[in-house]
Structure 1
């Protein structure tokens, strides 16, 4: 539900700033809402809030509204949640969006990039639980507070209903080899969790359009354009066999929003089942065009072999 999360971009503490924290992630009273906020509504449906009168809370906090009875959440998990968010400004306290309206639950990584109250709060609920979180400006790292020239954002209030946990990403593509290839390009599949070998030295003329071939066909869900992907890949220049990047060589899979990469990747990976290995030839118009990049000459046709390991 990234449309709802978009309202938070002006408040970098919420989900995207590393090192966020607050004074201990205190819980609210068990019988009342966190910082006096009260939650009503059944689990599995859009909640409603009642705000206390007076000045909005200036200290971040969380409260477990329903602990849930399913699997425990651990640090490092990617939790699937329905969430609803409000601006607590002490005036209208307006709702800013809900995944119950968009019918698109969001996946959140429980890691150090979350404010401390959420890192702690999520580990106190299980699948089927409901968490209330108040995120005030005390969650903004001090250095960010000093750098911000705009007025402080209103305190945010979230209600998270935990739907489940995203399964961990694969280590490598898994599935049936298809025998597909791109003329002039060779991919060798060593099997297991070993990196494939990509060869792009050829006298063949590069395709003028995007070409995507499935080398190994996975059996997972198809990648959606608005998802974040976990992938392993190697990239080379058509015709020269010059490698310019490889996550395999770094020893760590890459993770990124599909919407934030070059058009060739956006178009080529949308609809690919998780677990697949694909080889893509990307023309300059869908790559970097006439703009030279590190290790990539201008007007290069790029060739990638990509293992789609996860999508959320």
Structure 2
């Protein structure tokens, strides 16, 4: 089974839809309806047992704090590490869709505006060590579905145990310089949190293969292909020194799922330790091929210097 967050990513209702609307209960401040009759038993830190009420699934999204936790408060903007179990509430088998307790691989969820409102609110009501129950129904897509023929998603039930929080992303690569380089390409490391300088003006012919060299070797965990990365980078075209993109110049690192970028990045960054600075020469076949992009001619060999600041 793929990691449980892959289930979420495939369902716009859960992570990428408009916020779920729900009226608050005057007594508790939680959305009216609470857990919609769903019962959760078992200790935090172990796979839960979930009992569903008879009848049709809930049509209104809601949450309930099962255990408040005793650690640090979860805040908007945090990236929380969780153990997550998800069910399809269809009123029949109510089958479990996956659990990080089975994969033994906790997930990381960013608490941001991409989460439905019911989850944004629910997370901020628990602390580290707590357990949250969330019911995600189709109420958040009601207006959209009036305009489209998109089939309704099954109601989902999540039991989320908050393990902790991911450390903030680095500001720049940190580690030991290796002395590695790509022939024809120069990278100057100014040190500290300053941007490296990339020079690609050369008469050398580029390789028709992906070339990746580690300039600074970080000491963090190795990047996995399924993770989302936070990086700083500069991109230039081989031979011309023409820059077409730089997160450094925008003043903000880029964040993206590694699986959604060009093949050269996917292949070149998988396995790189967090904290590293790498330089990559990416042939057209692993970049944009015969298709010209804004500021990038067709059949260009791309050169990137990339600082891997975080992965989750």
Pairwise same-fold verdict (TM > 0.5): yes
Map 1:53-132 to 2 at 5 A: 53-132=54-133
SS in 2 for 1:232: strand
CA contact (8 A) 1:20 1:140 kept: no
Return the offset for 1:141: 6.7
Q: How far does residue 185 in structure 1 lie from its aligned partner after superposition?
A: 0.6
Change in Cα spacing, 1:284 to 1:7, as seen in structure 2 (3 Å) is same
> Aligned-pair distance for 1:41?
1.7
Check whether the contact 2:4–2:99 (CA below 8 A) recurs between aligned residues. yes
Q: Which deviations, in whole Å up to 9, do the C-alpha atoms of 1:246-304 show, x marking residues without a partner?
A: 11111111111111111111111111111111111111121112222111111111100
| 1:233 and 2:233 are equivalent in the alignment | yes
Which segments of 5 or more consecutive residues in structure 2 lack a partner in the other structure? none
Structure-2-length-normalised TM-score: 0.93
Contact 1:234/1:304 (CA < 8 Å) preserved in 2?
Answer: yes
SS of residue paired to 2:192: coil
Name 2:308's counterpart in structure 1.
Answer: 308
2-side partners of 1:254 and 1:191: how far apart? Answer: 20
Where has structure 1 moved over 4 Å in runs of 4 or more?
24-29
Secondary structure of the equivalent of 1:52? Answer: coil
Compute the displacement of 1:25 (Å).
6.0
Structure 2 CA distance for aligned equivalents of residues 181 and 25 of structure 1: 58
Separation of aligned partners in 1, 2:223 and 2:255: 14
> Where does residue 266 of structure 2 map in the other structure?
266
Q: CA deviation at 1:137?
A: 1.2
The 3 A distance-change label for structure 1 pair 186 and 263 is same
Query: What is aligned with 1:148?
Result: 148
Q: 1:60 to 1:6 in 2, by over 3 A?
A: same
Q: How many residue pairs align between the two structures?
A: 308
Structure-1-length-normalised TM-score: 0.93
Contact 2:34 2:62 in 1 (8 A): no
